[in-house]
Amino acid sequence: MSLRLGDIAPNFQAQTSIGEIDFYEYLGDSWGVLFSHPADYTPVCTTELGRTAQLKSEFDKRNVKVLAVSVDTVEHHKGWIKDINETQNTQVDFPIIADPERKVANLYGMIHPNASETFTVRSLFIIGPDKKVKLTITYPASTGRNFLEVLRVIDSLQLTAKYSVATPADWKDGEDVIVTPAVPTEEIPARFPKGHKIIKPYLRTTPQPNK
């Protein structure tokens, strides 16, 4: 199965490092980040889970819950978490899903046969409160994920879900945004009272409306 943007993220029940969960119940009305790892005790993934734990307050203030998934067992996960906490100077308290039968991996299309017949690729999904897939990224095993980029995308997704704006290249929270083409130029002053700039008829910018 290959999930595409706008698809409903499949629900599942699974054993995790914090106990059994129902994915939808765990997310509730929050945003979610679900990301996969080929196996426990792997070096790049150790740094990634550590970095995610270090950024807990950033995810919390954005109302985002994170979950990792690996094909190893809960007992393996618990041992690995001790290593992560020790080596990355943090405390992992989000669930790591045990997926030895690759149920979640197959639901989310995380196994790419040309990369590995048995292990998940390193996929990441951002899921909205409506349970729809908002973003997918797949990394090779040798490249660690940029979790500041994940947070940046979440900022953009949450902003553009509420306002008729888009975010330009390299945009960061607090910077000017683009007024979408669906908004006629004559309506911009009323809808975006902070002001706007017309660079081209199709390229209009305005200060970030929620700042």
Catalytic positions: 45
Alpha helices in the chain (DSSP H): 23-27, 43-54, 56-61, 74-88, 103-107, 147-160, 188-191
Write out the two tokens for 23.
Answer: 């994915």
Q: How far is CA 181 from CA 40, 160, 162, 167, 206, in A?
A: 46, 13, 16, 13, 13
What amino acid occupies position 114?
N
Q: How far is CA 124 from CA 26, 69, 139, 195, in A?
A: 17, 10, 8, 36
Check if the beta carbon of residue 23 is closer than 8 Å to that of residue 14: yes
